Amino acid sequence: MTTSNNLFQFEIEAAEGNARAGRFHTVHGDVITPIFAPVGTQAAMKGGITTAQLAEVGANLVLANTYHLHLRPGEDLVDELGGVHQFMQWHGPMLTDSGGFQVFSLAQMRKVDEDGVTFRSYIDGSKRRLTPESAIQIEEKLGADIIMAFDECAEPYDHRYSLAAMERTHRWAVRCKAAHSRTDQALFGIVQGGIFPDLRQRSAEFIAELDTPGIAIGGLSVGETKQEMHTVLDQVNQVLPMEKPRYLMGVGSPEDLVNGILRGVDIFDCVLPTRLARHKAAMTMTGRVNLLNASNTRDPQPIDPECGCYTCQHFSRAYLRHLFVAKEPLGGTLVSIHNLYTLLDLVRRCRAAIFEGRFTQFASDFLANYRV
């Protein structure tokens, strides 16, 4: 447990080039960076993964989605039951997004105005509304350690729309900061601006100026190329203050983690490890493995003989393939465990390499061996 005098400070313990290894202090313990945050969308991991199993794969920071929890079971119920940590029984650091991304990407019939967004619930069709103030109020009731400002995530290639969305995101960020009252939560502002250097520059400057305890980079991994993502990261991270943690939202393939850390990112989240597992694909340090491939039918080897996860320490590819063919949910569970472990092991290795001054070489070797 951290003491209040360093709450929400980010200690950079080691750095190499733009890459950093650090600790962000929260009341539920330190976020140890660089880190990948598994996503428990509805306050539950997909694939039947328990929080005990999350701890076993080495999770540290865990994310839940404000949009989904607002619609079901509702923030009042979560609050009444002691907040999201108690509700889902994750006692380490937690993060909630603001619902902005889901409202703009998932919500039916959304209508944006200066004050907020009106949309229909995908569950019962009821009319709902989120504003910067109500999003913060919901996040305060959910009670995560890190909460996000309510932003507008635009389609990345439309300069006119990206400009308007970015400017609204800035006005909303100011309102979010004014609305936020819980001192045990860190509010992060979000940099937007699509793929446009002029917009990203302005947005990074504006959000840096807002002086939130951490800063997120939004609007990436939404259709742009890897090169475009890297250009944005290079540019934004030159502007952002060194002493604040940087969170790249919704990004989580192994090569994206390494490329992000190379460019100064500290925190990542993504549904990819559990989603891929449901689709019978395993992540490895050298690329993806489709477990349904006939080549795995009689293979007594694990997914990755060098992996230390529960799944690789026990189960053959042949068994995992059998589970998928037989439609046994255990297949998705075991491969989720492996995929989560792989990403968490990767960020641990990156962190160790930064401490030892060999991260540039590590990243270069990793990316050379990785088949996208």
**340 forms part of the interface with a second copy (CB under 8 A):** no
For residue 158, report the phi and psi dihedrals to the nearest 5 degrees: -110, 105
Check if 124 is active-site: no
Which residue type is seen at 273?
P
Q: How far is the CB of 332 from a second copy (least distance, A)?
A: 7
Integer Cα distance of 19 and 11 in angstroms: 14
**294 forms part of the interface with a second copy (CB under 8 A):** no
Of 97, 256, 304, 345, which one is the catalytic site residue?
A: 97
Nearest in space to 189 (alpha carbons), one of 173, 168, 205: 173
Residue 227 CB contacts under 8 Å (≥ 6 apart), including other chains: none
Which residue type is seen at 154?
A
Nearest in space to 364 (alpha carbons), one of 37, 33, 16: 16
Of 30, 145, 151, 269, which one is the catalytic site residue?
A: 269
Give the DSSP per-residue string, 50-85: -HHHHHHTT--SEEE-HHHHHHTT-HHHHHHTT-HH
Among 334, 344, 347, 363, binds a second copy (CB under 8 A): 334
User: Which residue lies nearer to a second copy by CB, 122 or 157?
Assistant: 122
**51 forms part of the interface with a second copy (CB under 8 A):** yes
**297 forms part of the interface with a second copy (CB under 8 A):** yes
Is residue 187 within a helix (H) or strand (E), and if so which, with residue range?
Answer: strand 186-191
Per CB under 8 A, which region of 174-182, 198-206, 279-287, 314-322 contacts a second copy? 314-322
Could you count the other beta carbons within 10 Å of the beta carbon of residue 7? 16
CA 124 to chain CA centroid, nearest Å: 27
Q: How far is the CB of 313 from a second copy (least distance, A)?
A: 9
For residue 187, report the phi and psi dihedrals to the nearest 5 degrees: -90, 125
Token pair for 334 = 């075991």
User: Which residue lies nearer to a second copy by CB, 77 or 242?
Assistant: 77
**309 forms part of the interface with a second copy (CB under 8 A):** no
**316 forms part of the interface with a second copy (CB under 8 A):** yes
Among 113, 115, 198, 328, binds a second copy (CB under 8 A): 328
**87 forms part of the interface with a second copy (CB under 8 A):** yes
Check if 269 is active-site: yes
Per CB under 8 A, which region of 8-16, 186-194, 309-317, 341-349 contacts a second copy? 309-317
**305 forms part of the interface with a second copy (CB under 8 A):** no
Could you count the other beta carbons within 10 Å of the beta carbon of residue 108? 9
Q: Return the active site residues.
A: 97, 269
The residue ranges that bind a second copy (CB under 8 A) are 42-52, 68, 72-73, 77, 80-82, 87-89, 297-298, 300, 310, 314-316, 318-319, 322-323, 325-326, 328-334
